[in-house]
Structure 1
Amino acid sequence: MRKLFIAFGCLVLSPSAAWAQEREYCPDRPGIGTPACTMAPGKASLEVGLGDWSVDADSAERQDVFLTGDTLLRYGIADHAEVQLGWTALGFARTRDRLTGTVDHRSGTGDVTVALRRNLANPDGSGLSLAVMPYVTLPVGREPFGQGDLGAGLKVPLSYELSQSWSLATTTSFDAAVNEDGSGRHFAFDEVVGAQLELSKAVSVTAEYEFTLDRDPASHHTEQVGGLSLAWQPADDLQLDLGANLGLDHDAQDAEVYFGVSRRF
């Protein structure tokens, strides 16, 4: 009888365990949007931005920012849910005043972000996948890498596979964003639309468009950004990536180039 129960238990558990092992690796990197997939229960993903350079210039000044160690840790707590912890380890900023020629150098760390992603349909990201993701940003970093106050928001990522090669994705965000002066919050809305093409089983390229409506008390404005990224998975649990974003109007950041690595455990 004991052997019978053991055999029955193996039959019941084996499909679930096999399914968890066969779930394809779905990192958050690269790109602007957020995927709807979640990590399998007990699985972790460590995703690190090894280098990120951005530039933003106007008639008054030019600011170059370089980030390294932009880290996201994801852990599956259920078949349809994961928790996330994000932090930027180190940043360098160089700001040059165009009128006086003076240059200001700063360095520091970024804020900590804590999030929960709850998938509502197809947690492996196949077919039509939908999730909700509330998050909180803790102000532990210093300006210009940290926001200066507590922030929060809700993201709603959605993806749909058109074929074996093509898929579409959107990320809708509602944010209590920190004011530009680092004190208090205001409403901000963000929408990202993207299309992904799998060039092979290991290589994919993604094109995205982002629209942001920002109601900061100091400056109500909208921003538009275009992005292109490339991901390569040489192994089932490893991904390398690179990408670039370009501001499409004068309110958006001018340009950004980045690369990183993701590893599943």
Structure 2
Amino acid sequence: MLSFYCLVFCSLPVALSAQSQGVAPDSLNRRPPQYSLLRPVPRARLRPMSTDRPDATESAYLVDAGHFQVETDVLRLGRQRFGKQDTHQELGLNHANLKLGLTRTMDVQLVVESYTAQTERGEHPGARAGFGDLTLRVKRNLWGNDGGRTALALMPFVKLPTGRRTGNHNWEGGVVAPFACQLPHDWSLGSQLQATWVRDEATARHCLELAPTLTVGHDLYKTLGGFVEVAGAWDWRERGWAATLNGGPIWRVTDNVQLDVGLNYPLTKDTETTYFLGVSFRR
């Protein structure tokens, strides 16, 4: 898994070289108009809708200034097994990411865990359900938002412990660096590195978690595509990797509505298997 992490980030210089050769002519000849929250981008000039879901790799592109976008897990089912008897099951309903375009290079996001039900079975059985945590995120595009074959963004975030019955009742935060590259023949490549300052309940201290991903997408038809992704996380507490193989189809119903369904399949021991159904739309 360490070799996978090195491969993702050693490839960045090559991608940067491709970016310098693939800048759209319009971005060289004229300065983009200065749209903002109070001066929205005209609908005729909207970029193709780009979403942070359904893969774990966040998008390097933004919501257009003055426009609103919702991306939600309508239904999410997870199951995690520890040993032979202990299991953790989780049901999520309407875990939504609410996004608002502020400027040409920045948007703000609020992730809302509307309802979560968790069940523990085995040596320490129990059940809890209710409203979950809130996560505030700000995404800043560094390049590629308005043209070019590649794009890079930075997204700091902070998790607010608003869940009374679910969650770990602690403040957490970090930063995500998503990268995107457009490939020939309707293929796309994405990767990211996420660093999170997480709470360790056993030691009552915070520690660093690193989570690299690599995803490949392809358009099968004009309105139908799909993705395959490898997502990992290095846990400094356990000194080990957790990884999943993710994938599923994406149906672009209109230019402003998208449906998806997929699976996160565990590649390592004690890692959750997750099924999800989602929808995204833009106004």
Aligned ranges 1:166-185 → 2 under 5 Å = 166-181=187-202, 183-185=204-206
C-alpha distance after superposition, 1:82-121 (max 9, x if no partner):
0000110111122211x6xx85221122211001100011
1:186 Cα offset (Å): 0.4
Secondary structure of 1:42 counterpart: coil
Contact 1:148 1:182 in 2 (8 A): no
Contact 1:176 1:186 in 2 (8 A): yes
Q: 1:153 to 1:125 in 2, by over 3 A?
A: farther
Contact 2:46 2:64 in 1 (8 A): no
Give, in whole Å, the separation in 1 of the partners of 2:223 and 2:202: 44
Give, in whole Å, the separation in 2 of the partners of 1:137 and 1:182: 20
Give the structure with the higher percent strand: 1
Q: 1:105 to 1:163 in 2, by over 3 A?
A: same
TM-score for both structures, normalised by structure 2? 0.81
Give, in whole Å, the separation in 2 of the partners of 1:238 and 1:163: 25
Secondary structure of 2:45 counterpart: helix
Matched with 1:133 is 155
1:206 Cα offset (Å): 0.6
C-alpha distance after superposition, 1:132-180 (max 9, x if no partner):
001111111145x413211110100001011141011001111111224
1:181 Cα offset (Å): 4.5
Give, in whole Å, the separation in 1 of the partners of 2:221 and 2:199: 41
Residue 282 of structure 2 aligns with an amino acid whose one-letter code is R
Give, in whole Å, the separation in 2 of the partners of 1:125 and 1:51: 34
Residue 73 of structure 2 aligns with an amino acid whose one-letter code is G
Return the index of the structure with the highest Cα Rg.
1
1:229 Cα offset (Å): 2.2
Q: 1:212 to 1:236 in 2, by over 3 A?
A: same
Q: 1:159 to 1:208 in 2, by over 3 A?
A: same
Residue 89 of structure 2 aligns with an amino acid whose one-letter code is D
Contact 1:148 1:183 in 2 (8 A): no
Q: 1:39 to 1:250 in 2, by over 3 A?
A: same
167, 171, 186: which one pairs with 1:146? Answer: 167
Contact 1:75 1:82 in 2 (8 A): yes
Instruction: Give aligned pairs, total.
Output: 246
Secondary structure of 2:239 counterpart: strand
CA-based RMSD of the aligned residues comes to 2.2
Matched with 1:187 is 208
Residue 82 of structure 2 aligns with an amino acid whose one-letter code is D
Q: 1:215 to 1:13 in 2, by over 3 A?
A: closer
State percent identity of aligned pairs.
24
Aligned ranges 1:54-93 → 2 under 5 Å = 54-59=78-83, 60-93=85-118
Question: Is 2:271 the counterpart of 1:252?
Answer: yes
Contact 2:209 2:236 in 1 (8 A): yes
Secondary structure of 2:69 counterpart: strand
Which ranges of structure 2 fall in alignment gaps of 5 or more residues? 1-32
Contact 1:215 1:221 in 2 (8 A): yes
Give, in whole Å, the separation in 2 of the partners of 1:215 and 1:242: 32
Contact 2:96 2:113 in 1 (8 A): yes
Matched with 1:5 is none
Q: 1:214 to 1:37 in 2, by over 3 A?
A: same
C-alpha distance after superposition, 1:199-220 (max 9, x if no partner):
122111010001211113xx33
Contact 2:116 2:132 in 1 (8 A): yes
Give, in whole Å, the separation in 2 of the partners of 1:43 and 1:230: 26
Question: Is 2:120 the counterpart of 1:95?
Answer: yes
